[in-house]
């Protein structure tokens, strides 16, 4: 797959799903969306599709087409979708013209808040709530991005066959969150939870340690040696995952 297609998959299936976490864990976003009842379909020609649904205080982001979306946003190509996500283009509404006010005024408040937390600077990250939410989102983004890269990225597709069936879990101690990549005969699922007896496990000792580890600000070998990060199980699975995640900056920055 070309770079634009892979980036579009990452945008829709790894970045956009963070709206779920934003609405669930950010009080400002929860207040903003508490009365929303709307389903927004994102559709790129020759590219990925996803639906963002708000149901009075809850948000879900699902792959594929919804049977009855209120709004359909069309993109002429994966690159068009990527440029929209980068703030350099606008979607083409093909359904839901009566909701254009919502799309131009209300929804951007939420996406702006998402961007602000995902790209929070040092000053903002001193707030433990912002740090926790940023790290939670980074954890889930990494797992979802790994799935897309293993399926579509040229390097990821070479690595995927070497990963045996089983589960790789990443957990932030002491109380989570936790995410699992489950491999089953070519199928890759991402679970926002742990599983019993994963084949490989990465445990990060705190939210601060997880933030530094996931953002490449930590000396991994030193952290493993002194116990801030613990790994166990099938190390080749963890090494393969690390190689794939090194590809994320190639698409997202």
Q: What is the pTM of this model?
A: 0.93
Per DSSP bridges, beta strands 187-191 and 178-184 are antiparallel
The neighbouring-strand residues paired with 39 are 53
Mean pLDDT across 42-68 = 94
Quick one: pLDDT at residue 176?
A: 82
DSSP letters spanning the chain: --HHHHHHHHIIIIITTHHHHHHHH-HHHHHHHTT-EEEEEEEETTS-EEEEEEESS-EEEEES--SS-SEEEEESSHHHHHHHHTTS---EEEE-GGGHHIIIIIHHHHHHHHHHHHT--TTGGGSHHHHHHHHHHHHHHHHHHHHHHHHHSHHHHHHGGGSPSEEEEEEETTT--EEEEEEETTEEEEESS--SS-SEEEEESSHHHHHHHHTT-S-HHHHHHHTSEEEEE-HHHHHHHHHHHTTHHHH--
Quick one: pLDDT at residue 81?
A: 97
Quick one: pLDDT at residue 139?
A: 97
Quick one: pLDDT at residue 17?
A: 97
Confidence of residue 253 (pLDDT cuts 50, 70, 90): confident
The mean of the pLDDT values for the chain is 95
Q: Could you report the per-residue pLDDT of 122-169, keeping only the tens digit for each?
A: 999 999 999 999 999 999 999 999 999 999 999 999 999 999 999 999
Mean pLDDT across 31-40 = 96
Q: Could you report the per-residue pLDDT of 190-226, keeping only the tens digit for each?
A: 999 999 999 999 999 999 999 999 998 999 889 999 9
The CA-CA-CA angle for residues 244, 8, 64, to 5°, reads 105
């Amino acid at each position: 797959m070309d770079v634009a297609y892979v980036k579009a998959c990452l945008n829709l299936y790894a970045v956009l799903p963070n709206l779920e976490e934003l609405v669930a864990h950010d009080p400002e976003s929860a207040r903003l969306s508490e009365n929303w009842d709307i389903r927004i379909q994102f559709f790129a020609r020759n590219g990925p599709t996803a639906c963002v649904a708000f149901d009075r205080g809850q948000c879900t982001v699902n792959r594929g087409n919804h049977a009855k979306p209120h709004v359909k946003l069309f993109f002429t190509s994966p690159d068009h979708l990527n440029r929209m996500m980068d703030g350099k283009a606008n979607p083409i509404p093909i359904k839901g013209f009566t909701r254009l006010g919502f799309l131009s005024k209300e929804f951007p408040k939420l996406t702006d808040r998402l961007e602000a937390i995902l790209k929070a600077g040092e000053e903002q990250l001193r707030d433990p709530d912002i740090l926790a939410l940023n790290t939670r989102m980074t954890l889930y983004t990494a797992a979802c991005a790994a799935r897309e890269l293993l399926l579509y990225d040229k390097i990821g597709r070479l690595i995927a066959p070497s990963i045996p069936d089983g589960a790789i879990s990443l957990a932030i101690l002491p109380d989570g969150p936790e995410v699992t990549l489950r491999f089953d005969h070519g199928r890759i699922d991402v679970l926002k939870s742990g599983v019993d007896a994963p084949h490989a496990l990465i445990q990060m000792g705190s939210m601060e340690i997880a933030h530094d580890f996931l953002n490449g600000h930590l000396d991994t070998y030193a952290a493993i040696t002194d116990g801030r990060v613990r790994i166990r199980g099938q190390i080749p699975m963890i090494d393969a995952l690390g190689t794939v995640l090194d590809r994320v900056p190639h698409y997202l920055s």
